[in-house]
Amino acid sequence: MTTDKLRLLVRVDLDCATAQVAAQGHVTSKSVHGLYDVMKRANSLTAGMTLELDMTRARIEPDALEELQACSKSHHLPARIDPFQSDYRLSILAPDDATPLTAMATQAA
């Protein structure tokens, strides 16, 4: 049974300064804002936190994936979410059914 409800699981390893946010359900251009809030909280735990977004078990709309990829490339969340524009080390594991152009995992340098 599939659901449109977005569910997130956050795993944090403070020793290694890494966090994984695993999404299940449907990620839309509206629900991605909730994901941004979780990413912002995880990033605030420790300086230089590496965030991995595991979207492999989610259905993600192309617009939402493009927004997330833009965040990964710029190392920032949208200004309306993070007005201070903190630095984010972000990688995205895209779902298998994403279009070929956006299916590649985006790696933050």
Q: Return the sign of the alpha-carbon dihedral for residues 82, 17, 9, 22.
A: positive
**Does any domain span residue 1?**
no
CB of 65 closer than 8 Å to CB of 105: no
From first to last of the 109 residues of the chain, give the pLDDT tens digit: 456 789 999 999 988 899 999 999 999 999 999 999 999 999 888 888 899 999 999 999 999 999 999 999 999 999 999 999 999 999 999 877 654 333 344 443 3
Q: At 15, list the tokens.
A: 């020793």
The whole-model pTM stands at 0.80
- The total of structural domains in the chain comes to 1
Q: To the nearest 10°, the Cα dihedral for 70, 73, 76, 78?
A: -10
CB of 54 closer than 8 Å to CB of 93: yes
How many CB atoms neighbour CB 106 within 10 A?
18
**Does any domain span residue 16?**
yes
Instruction: Report the CATH number at residue 11.
Output: 3.30.750.24
